[in-house]
A and B are shown apart, each in its own frame.
Chain A
Amino acid sequence: MHSARRFTNWRLTIALLSLILLVVLLLSVSIGPAKIEVQSIFRIILSQLPMSPVTPGHGASTSAEVIILLLRLPRALQAALIGASLAVSGVVIQSLFKNPMADPYVVGISSGAALGASTAILLGLGGLLSIPVLAFTGATAAAFIVYNIARTESGVVAETLLLSGIAVAYFLASITSFLLYTAGEALHQIIFWLMGGLWASSWPKIAVITPVFILSFVVLQLFARDLNALLLGEEPAQHLGINVDVLKKIILVSASLLAGVSVAFAGTIGFVGLIIPHVTRLLVGPDHRVLLPASALIGAIFLLTSDIMARTLLAPAEIPVGVITAFFGAPFFIYLLKTRRRNL
């Protein structure tokens, strides 16, 4: 009973999760107020592939094409990408702090990103990149501040980490609130955005998120073995020949990039970065070589599903997806606090 019960076949696990993601993606694209047949959805999407012999077909109207290609498909893809980004960010933050309670929220990264993004909106900085760049800057700054407060000579103490993360998050949130107070006309826009949602998904945003995700993911995957060693502690990792200082910077920067770009384009969506790494670890174990891709896939599946619920539960009204993830996430967090206290 003490031995590990996990899915030990990594390839099968990843293949299975990819298949589920594909199904949920298709589900997300086919659900909505306008009834569009699955067949025409396939035709519309396939017709967009380069050199595709498929045409949208006479059955599909132009409006269906617009709904699929400009509304549902980008939204589904963006939900998947952001879910994956938040989950991967959560995995490596937990490994860095050697603490399963850490996530981009707890360590202040999300608050830093929110402050950066709010600033960009308030300053009326146009352009696709100004919000993510400021969000990333805020996220990185918050991460480095919290990390340096929490670390001592013997490593990062969990309580100090949580407390300093909360303190920094509140401090940054107070500045964001002040900005909101003085926001005037932009207020509605910012609040709506802060609650977290995917309604503003678009192809240009996907074009920003995709390279950020791929770059961060590939780099982290190359350092997967180093991340494993880091779970033993900084000194033991050093004794295995790992340059811990470089590794920590890689983790903080890529986690901030992933969380920053997510917050910039979808607002603050809570708990994905906390729950998904946990659930994935229960399924595949703590080895980052499988944990990273599996978390990315499960994160994508989770946020896509949450977004489907956000769109359908009160249809035609839409619930911010952050509300859904927090609704499931907060009880889970409490459950973790109760059961995993020994790790604190």
Chain B
Amino acid sequence: MKIAAENLDVYYGEKQILHCMSMAPKEGSLIGVIGPNGSGKTTLLKTLSNTLKPRAGVVYLNGSKMSDLKSREIAKNLAVVSQDTSVGFDFTVYELVLMGRTPHIGRFEKEGWADRDIANAAMRLTNTVDLKDRLITTLSGGERQKVVIAKALSQEPNVLLLDEPTANLDIKNQIEVMTLIKNAVKSRAITAVMAIHDINLAARYCDEMMLLHRGEIYAIGSPKSVLTAENIKAVFGVESIVTDGPADGSIYVVPMATLEKKS
């Protein structure tokens, strides 16, 4: 188990966001975390990445308690692709991807050929080799997202956390980004946890799904078992039809109408 969480209670100030949440995703699988706004998706990711400290419960990274690890130790094993990927200063794509090597390079060391090879491999895996010398500030949203993923991959993580990696992308880029995430997860046996709004995109690419409801796990398992009309109705308050999807064995959710609020 590369990453696991046990009975997490997480608060923002006095407001409890996550309630006794546990998870233990399989190694080398892509987990999609879905749920309405405010259900705790981002909070869960921030707790798994050690940005937020749980008030109770433990996060395990490679079997060690996260709270016992130094941030550098964590960064060698866990990379994060956050929602806000804007970079204000003019780094080139290559410089940015190479920054992923930061936790692996000592204070008195320079990055060596091995680091450059790893950065190049990460760019090949994300189809960003052609962008190598471009400035980050001149990239489109889709290109930038791929580059940020390349940076995360050059960290050579066992665990990858992604917060809405396809938000604000057009459909072509959504599919490209999801495909390359899936490829990276499979070819490098990375355990990836991804918060995502687009249920159908998640259903198509994720090995497993977690449906959050008010800071608790409402359902967990294969996309087919999680995405049922009943679950969607209970959590999102939306009537829907679940049909067979375009790909083999996949499913497709068509939202129909919102439920009237019970008074």
The chain A residues found within 8 Å of chain B, CB to CB, are 2-4, 98-100, 222-223, 225-226, 228-229, 231-233, 235-236, 238-243, 281, 285-287, 343
Contacts and interface: CB of A to CB of B under 8 A. Distances in A.
Nearest to A98: B88
B102 A286 contact: no
A8 to B, nearest CB: 10
B91 A287 contact: yes
Chain A CB within 10 Å — which of B51, B89, B90, B135 has the most? B89
B103 A343 contact: no
- Say which size band chain B's interface belongs to: 35 or more
B87 A231 contact: yes
B47 interface: no
Contacts of A2: 134-135, 138
Nearest to B132: A3
B262 interface: no
Contacts, number: 84
A241 B75 contact: yes
Contacts of A100: 88-89
Contacts of B80: 235-236, 239
Interface stretch (B56-64, B92-100, B246-254): B92-100
Most-contacted residue by chain A among B50, B76, B92, B96 (CB, 10 A): B92
Interface of B: 49-51, 70-76, 78-80, 82, 84, 87-92, 95-96, 99-100, 102-103, 105, 107-108, 133-135, 138, 155
A242 B88 contact: no
Nearest to B46: A235
B92 A4 contact: yes
A281 B90 contact: yes
Given A4-B133, A223-B107, A232-B87, 18 more contacts: A3-B134, A99-B88, A232-B99, A235-B51, A236-B80, A236-B82, A238-B71, A239-B78, A240-B100, A240-B103, A241-B71, A241-B72, A241-B73, A241-B74, A241-B76, A285-B90, A286-B89, A287-B91
Nearest to B102: A240
Contact of A240 (B75, B89, B91, B138): B75
Contact of A285 (B73, B74, B91, B138): B91
Nearest to B50: A238
A232 B105 CA distance: 18
A231 B107 CA distance: 18
B14 to A, nearest CB: 15
Most chain B Cβ neighbours within 10 Å, of A3, A4, A235: A4
Contacts of A242: 71-72, 75, 102
A298 B97 CA distance: 29
Contact of A228 (B72, B73, B99): B99
Contacts of A229: 99, 102
A283 to B, nearest CB: 12
Contact of B90 (A223, A225, A243, A286): A286
Contacts of B76: 241
A235 B82 CA distance: 9
Best-buried of B74, B99, B108, B134 by chain A (most CB within 10 Å): B99
B62 to A, nearest CB: 15
Contact of A286 (B75, B91, B133, B155): B91
B8 to A, nearest CB: 19
Q: Considering the complex of A and B, which 6 residue pairs feature the smallest CB-CB distances, nearest first?
A: A241-B75, A241-B103, A241-B72, A286-B89, A3-B133, A239-B80
A225 B87 contact: no
